[in-house]
Structure 1
Amino acid sequence: MAEKTKILFILNPKSGRTSQLNVPDLLTRYLDADRFKYQLVHTEYAGHATELARQGAQDGYQIVGAIGGDGTVNEVAQGLLDTSAVLAILPKGSGNGLARHLGIPMNLRHAIGIINEYHSSAIDTCKINGHPFFCTAGIGFDAYISSIFASNTKRGLQTYVRLVLQEFTKFKPQEAVLQLNEQQIKTKVFVVAFANATQYGNNAHIAPKADIRDGLLDVCLIRDLDFRKAINLSLGMLTKRIAAGSSAEYFTTTTINVRSEQNFKFHADGEYIGEASRFEVSINPLSLKVIHPKGR
């Protein structure tokens, strides 16, 4: 009899969406018990998922599953870098950017079914000032909103949208110099988004042409926005037509440096990291294996 594949599932119990679902019951009912045996552990503090994932890979788990939102997925994926373990995602957050990009169902029962199929491939991974990210990172307004969102007691898309509308007129673009592809761009910056995948989450596509396996960063530069342009930009993100408008400029590169006289707030996969005046963003091609639907 073939030995079963070992899976370590890492659950963030505080993750917002579908928090009422009984995850152990779903795993017992729908994970293929003939092929897999699993252990389920809970995170207890920020960064814990990275520690658990790294230890799981060292202990011989072939698959490590992240059950939570983008922050949980980021932490688990960090722990799997430079290991042979494969990442699985059961989306239970509000944005679920990487899961959506990979075509993983938002319904947990159906997402477990994708694990049962066990189709995997390698994707690119990135770093901003040494902080790994797998979907998007950025400086400017999106990071400014992330910093406020991080301390907000209410989570979810409604809270995020409310903060964007509330803070839009207060935010002032800052001067910065971008260095990429032997080109230097000095400009005021509203947002610079560094995209490995197409979207932030919630199907808001900041870089609709991004390919998570092409070894390239898609850089979206938004210099300045008035309210009318912001509305058009938002509609463009939701319809994947942002690149057709005039408000966003796109570049592809393997590395980009940004410097400024003032600090910029920055985020990685939607999680606020901090502030800096110098940024180095780079990509590591095909450096993480992920389970996803066949054909994605």
Structure 2
Amino acid sequence: MLYIHFIVNPISGKGKHVITHATLKTFFPADMFRIEVDYTEYKKHATELTKKAAANNPDYIVACGGDGTINEVASCLINTSIKLGIIPVGSGNGLSAHLQIPKNIEQALQLIITGQSTSIDVGKLNDKYFFSNMGVGIDAMIIRNYESSGRRTLLTYIKASLAASMEFKPQKTALSFKNKVVEENSFMLFISNSNEMGYNMSLTPKASLNDGMLDLITVPQLSFPEKLALGYYVLRNKVDKFKKAQHTLVDNLHIELPEKIFTDAQIDGEYHNLKTNSLKVSIIKHGLEVIIP
């Protein structure tokens, strides 16, 4: 009998999805599946629930939510035999889009039964993990503005981006990778493991989840017209056409922000204030087993 444990964020997206134990029973017959369901009540609750569930050694733990919920669940399953399932009911759904997991709940649930599994790489930022992307600089300010708005829509994200582009001041940054050090006043510093940011937008459309590398995008200080041009290319998923955007593949990276004490960062679309100005970014190759079509 297959044991599947669901971690459900009831307010993901617009909070309109209905994933209940009764609903799940219709998909997973009791004579074939053992089903357990927990519901998150606050930020980081999914981490607590996943750790408790993992102690019972289920076959799958299924994250029902957005990229933030998925991050909390998946972070507890790295280098374990437990497979991650995803029911994407969030707003951006970047990781699930890369994995081509259906947005339709019934189709995504059916995938848990019929799908196969694959191993994907995991990004690590100091003691935290990311599966889709992370960023410092303007990227972090965008997410902070986005979260403080209280609404999670594409229009809200665009408004947050426009506000951040006017407010953000480039920060002195030293990047160490491939035996070299690059110093610049950084406007954008974005590191991606997947080819999706969410909302069908991408800065790294060629990124792979299992190539053992992370995609680094850096953009230095920009003039106002250049900011407008960058925004245009971002919306059209053609950042590679923007000449000041530098793209590099890395498997480890050290970031120093010498004029900062703490660092604002976004990790899988969630804002974090890190109590350090020194960041070590690395990759765990094939660190997570995920159910896919």
Q: CA shift at 1:215, angstroms?
A: 0.8
For residues 190-229 of structure 1, give each alpha carbon's deviation from its aligned partner in whole angstroms, at most 9, with x where no partner exists: 1111111112211111111211101111101111334444
1:231 to partner: Cα distance: 4.2
Does the Cα contact within 8 Å between 1:203 and 1:238 map onto a contact in 2?
A: no
Which has the higher mean CA deviation after the structures are superposed, 95-104 or 8-17? Answer: 8-17
Q: TM-score, normalised by structure 1?
A: 0.91
Shift of 1:32: 6.0
1:26-65 correspondence runs (5 A): 26-31=23-28, 35-65=32-62
2:281 matched to 1:284? no
1 CA distance for matches of 2:191 and 2:82? 26
Deviation at 1:126? Answer: 1.2
User: Contact 1:51 / 1:79 at 8 angstroms: preserved in 2?
Assistant: no
TM-score normalised by structure 2 residue count: 0.92
Alpha-carbon distance in 1 for matches of 2:42, 2:267 = 18
Q: 2:16 aligns with which of 17, 20, 28?
A: 20
Where does residue 126 of structure 1 map in the other structure?
Answer: 123
Contact 2:71 / 2:268 at 8 angstroms: preserved in 1?
A: yes
Determine the C-alpha separation between the residues in 1 that align with 2:227 and 2:105.
34
Residues in 1 aligned to 2:89 and 2:112: alpha-carbon distance in whole angstroms:
15
- Unaligned stretches of 5+ residues in structure 2: none
SS in 1 for 2:111: helix
CA contact (8 A) 2:119 2:289 kept: yes
Q: Distance in 2 between matches of 1:247 and 1:254?
A: 22
Residue 108 of structure 1, aligned match among 105, 108, 121: 105
Provide the C-alpha distance between the structure 2 equivalents of 1:227 and 1:43, rounded to a whole number of angstroms: 42
CA drift of 1:238 comes to 4.3
Relative to structure 1, the CA distance from residue 230 to residue 37 in structure 2 (aligned partners, 3 Å threshold; closer, same or farther) is farther
Distance 1:79 1:93, change over 3 A: same
- CA distance 1:241–1:167, change in 2 (3 Å): closer
Deviation, structure 1 residue 232:
3.9
Alignment-derived partner of residue 269 in structure 2: 270
Give me the CA root mean square deviation.
1.8
Structure 1 CA distance, aligned partners of 2:146 and 2:19?
A: 26
Cα distance in 2, alignment partners of residues 230 and 37 from structure 1: 52
Q: Would you say 1:158 and 2:167 are equivalent positions?
A: no
Q: Could you tell me whether the CA contact under 8 Å between 1:10 and 1:52 is conserved in 2?
A: yes
SS in 1 for 2:141: helix
Answer yes or no: is the 8 Å Cα contact 1:52–1:79 preserved in 2. no
Secondary structure, counterpart of 2:259 in structure 1: strand
In structure 1, C-alpha distance between the alignment counterparts of 2:278 and 2:197, rounded to whole Å: 23
Cα distance in structure 2, aligned partners of 1:33 and 1:244: 53
Q: CA deviation at 1:26?
A: 4.2
Give percent identity, aligned residues only: 34
Q: Deviations over 1:118-169 (max 9, x none)?
A: 3001101111121111110110001012223333322332222112122321
SS in 2 for 1:80: coil
Measured at CA, do residues 191 and 34 of structure 1 come closer, stay the same or move farther in structure 2, by a change above 3 Å? farther
**Aligned position for 2:238:** 241
Output one character per residue of 1:66-112: Cα deviation in whole Å (capped at 9) or x when no partner: 01111100000011123210000001111111101100111111111
> 1:73 aligns to what?
70
Q: 2:209 aligns with which of 207, 212, 221?
A: 212
Give the counterpart of 2:254 among 257, 271, 276: 257
Higher deviation after alignment, 153-162 or 124-133:
153-162
Q: Is the 8 A contact 2:143 2:160 kept in 1?
A: no
- Figure out how many residues of one structure are paired with residues of the other and give that number: 289
1:95 aligns with 2:92: yes
Cα deviation for residue 236 of structure 1 reads 3.3
What 5-or-longer segments of structure 1 have no aligned partner?
A: none
Shift of 1:35: 4.2
Which deviates further from its counterpart, 195-204 or 94-103? 195-204
What amino acid does structure 2 have at the position aligned with 1:20?
Answer: K
